[in-house]
């Protein structure tokens, strides 16, 4: 899968079918759209192109209202490739792009730069200045210029409409298992491993302190998941929040990799969430904490089996 920024290597994305959107989370709703996109592209033997934005347009228009991201651009592109996209075009969001009317966006981006033969979108797609373009407008523009146009139907899981906003709400409530069902893949945090107080090591459960995380961090709690460093993947117990047993109130992300002993400092760690184990709570003493940590480890092994 090719990732293109600033129209470099433009020949790799012209003449194909395209889907345009933020694709934050690349959830099951996005995946339904990508299924139509890639089917169209494979039939005509042309590229399947996903166009996304960095940053989210609302980050420029209404910074205080910008939602926390579910994916980094790098992870988003990886997921798009996993679901069949050949080329991901990352459009740098700036004032000139946001000033384009719906018709100007269509002429400049869709017909000019992409030279697309067809578009595939979701039912709630808006584009152009002040979100003036919608599905009806886009259908008309495509029809006027001989482009095919498909609208993927909305997707529900557990009788709930799949959307990035719903997934954010679930993660903020700590319901990662439900969020994962709507995503269709595990939820990931990525960051660098910083220096901690090394208390976990003295307890027999060394942890990596995850720093520089730019995406939404789930609610405080202990979670089961997987941690990937380089190409090595390990079961992980993830603690998010303060350490009340030791009187620490600051919120941290601490990751214990099961059956792993190498040094992780200053390395990049990708943490994928599977399910919630328990709440954060204060323990009477270190021995009680240690017993609970051992129980957490066993729970993580079961949840990730």
177 assigned to some structural domain = no
- The answer to whether residues 102 and 247 belong to one domain is no
Give the whole-angstrom CA distance, residue 43 versus residue 209: 47
Compute the average pLDDT of residues 91-108: 95
The enclosing domain of 126 has a CATH number of: 3.40.50.620
Residues 235 and 259: beta-carbon distance below 8 Å: yes
- Is residue 115 located within the same domain as residue 238? no
The answer to whether residue 170 sits within a structural domain is no
- Extract the tokens encoding 220: 């405080």
DSSP per-residue string spanning 104-139: HHIIIIIIIIS--SEEEE-TT--BSGGG-B-HHHHH
Domain contains 35:
yes
Q: 202 pLDDT band (50/70/90 cuts)?
A: low
Asked if 97 and 241 sit in the same domain, the reply is no
62 located within any domain: yes
With a cut of 90, say whether residue 81 has pLDDT above it.
Answer: yes
Both tokens of 65, joined, read 């209202």
Q: With 90 as the cut, is the pLDDT of residue 12 above it?
A: no
Do residues 224 and 92 both lie within one domain?
A: no
Which position has the token pair 């490739």? 81
Tokens for 117?
Answer: 């033969």
Residue 155: C-alpha distances to residues 5, 34, 182 (Å): 30, 13, 9
Q: Is residue 179 part of a domain?
A: no
Same structural domain, 86 and 212: no
178 within some domain: no
Tell whether 275 is covered by a domain: yes
Q: Is the pLDDT of residue 304 over 90?
A: yes
Residue pLDDT, tens place only, 115-150:
999 999 999 999 999 999 999 999 999 999 999 999
Q: Give residue 61's domain range.
A: 2-157
Q: Is residue 167 part of a domain?
A: no
CATH code at 251? 2.40.30.30
Instruction: Tell me the pLDDT band of 11, cut-offs 50, 70 and 90.
Output: confident
Strand partners, 233: 228
Q: What is the DSSP string of 200-237?
A: HHHHT---EEEE---SPPPPSEEEEEEEEETTEEEEEE
List Cβ neighbours of 175 (8 Å cut-off, separation of 6 or more): 276
Q: pLDDT at residue 58 above 70?
A: yes
Mean pLDDT (the chain, rounded): 94
Are 233 and 110 found together in one domain? no
Percentage of the residues of the chain whose pLDDT score is greater than 90: 86
Integer angstrom CA distances of residue 195 from 160, 192, 252, 264:
41, 10, 12, 10
Q: What are 146-168's pLDDT values in tens digits?
A: 999 999 999 999 899 999 999 99
pLDDT of residue 199: 64
Do 123 and 194 lie in one domain? The reply is no
| Counted domains in the chain | 2
* Closest listed residue to residue 219, CA positions, set 196, 193, 205, 238: 238
Identify the pLDDT of residue 13: 84
């Amino acid at each position: 899968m090719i990732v293109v920024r600033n129209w470099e290597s433009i020949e790799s994305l012209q003449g194909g079918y395209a889907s345009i959107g933020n694709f934050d989370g690349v959830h099951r709703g996005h995946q339904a759209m990508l299924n139509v996109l890639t089917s169209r592209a494979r039939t005509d033997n042309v590229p399947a192109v996903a166009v996304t934005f960095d940053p989210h347009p609302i980050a420029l228009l209404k910074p205080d209202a910008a939602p926390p991201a579910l994916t980094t651009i790098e992870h988003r592109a990886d997921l798009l490739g996993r679901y069949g996209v050949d080329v991901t075009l990352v459009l740098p969001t700036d004032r000139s792009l946001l000033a384009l009317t719906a018709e100007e966006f269509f002429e400049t981006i869709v017909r000019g730069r992409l030279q697309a033969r067809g578009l595939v979108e979701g039912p709630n797609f808006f584009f152009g200045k002040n979100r003036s373009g919608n599905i009806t407008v886009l259908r008309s523009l495509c029809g006027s210029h001989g482009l095919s146009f498909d609208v993927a139907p909305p997707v529900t899981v557990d009788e709930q409409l799949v959307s990035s906003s719903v997934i954010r709400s679930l993660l903020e409530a700590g319901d990662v298992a439900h969020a994962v069902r709507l995503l269709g893949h595990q939820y990931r945090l990525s960051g660098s491993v910083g220096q901690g107080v090394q208390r976990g090591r003295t307890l027999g459960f060394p942890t990596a302190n995850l720093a520089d995380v730019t995406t939404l961090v789930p609610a405080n709690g202990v979670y089961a998941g997987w941690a990937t460093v380089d190409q090595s993947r390990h079961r992980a117990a993830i603690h998010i929040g303060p350490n009340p047993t030791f009187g620490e109130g600051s919120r941290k992300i601490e990751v214990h990799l099961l059956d792993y002993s190498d040094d992780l400092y200053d390395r990049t760690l990708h943490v994928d969430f599977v399910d919630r184990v328990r709440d954060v709570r204060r323990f009477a003493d270190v021995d009680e904490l240690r017993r609970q940590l051992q129980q957490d480890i066993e729970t993580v092994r079961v949840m990730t089996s």
